[in-house]
A and B are shown apart, each in its own frame.
Chain A
Amino acid sequence: NAGVMQNPRHLVRRRGQEARLRCSPMKGHSHVYWYRQLPEEGLKFMVYLQKENIIDESGMPKERFSAEFPKEGPSILRIQQVVRGDSAAYFCASSSGTSGGSRDTQYFGPGTRLTVL
């Protein structure tokens, strides 16, 4: 399966712990996006990365959240000191970046459902 892969699919953390969510883009894709879906809401953009670069982090909370997309390996969304309000589904999407470097179709992974106890 050459689709976007995310793991784990489900993650349970206690308040104060750290959560690490991983995303492997589709083969050949070099652009990664993270979105958060709170219960009963649509997806909200968090961050857009290319290899080793954060391009747009306008949707990231100012504290406790960080993202990276290293030269080798998956993209990581890291949430430190989780709180109950962080419980949500976190989706990763990837795109090829071949449409003039922007505005190409994003393909989504199955998501990681984070539950904070």
Chain B
Amino acid sequence: AQSVTQLDSQVPVFEEAPVELRCNYSSSVSVYLFWYVQYPNQGLQLLLKYLSGSTLVKGINGFEAEFNKSQTSFHLRKPSVHISDTAEYFCAVQALTGGGNKLTFGTGTQLKVEL
């Protein structure tokens, strides 16, 4: 079984400041890793994913994430945030073997960008 921990339920940040949203996971098998963003009253949009290869993954809207296998982390970063980045961000994992195709999500981090 897999589990995902997003320790920060809310992260306030000023516009143009950098931000890091933390994600740690637990799994007995190798996993793929994902970050999704959810704007108010909308569905989830894929930001980026790590399947294999380079541990630094670049996604849409200037976001990037780094896979750290030894620390079982996949933290999301952006060097300079914009008001429009205000949203809920979900980290998710998917087992490579077994467990079906299901995604296991964290509880989400609300990013609030202020002027």
**Nearest CB to that of A57 among chain B residues?**
B100
Task: Please determine whether A33 and B90 come into contact, CB atoms closer than 8 angstroms.
Answer: no
Task: Please determine whether A45 and B103 come into contact, CB atoms closer than 8 angstroms.
Answer: yes
Smallest distance from the beta carbon of B3 to chain A beta carbons, Å? 11
Which residues of A have CB within 8 Å of B4? 42
Docked CA distance A99–B21 (Å): 29
Chain A contact residue count (CB 8 A cutoff): 30
A4 at interface, CB cutoff 8 A: yes
Smallest distance from the beta carbon of A107 to chain B beta carbons, Å? 7
Of the candidate stretches B56-64, B76-84, B104-112, the one touching chain A is B104-112
A111 at interface, CB cutoff 8 A: yes
Which residues of B have CB within 8 Å of A105? 46, 49
Having A41-B107, A108-B36, one finds 4 other A-B pairs with CB under 8 Å, namely A42-B105, A42-B108, A103-B32, A103-B96
Residues of A bordering B, CB below 8 Å: 4, 6, 31, 33, 35, 40-45, 48, 55-56, 58-59, 91, 93, 95, 102-111, 113
Question: Can you sample 5 A-B contacts with CB below 8 Å?
Answer: A4-B43, A31-B101, A45-B104, A59-B102, A106-B101
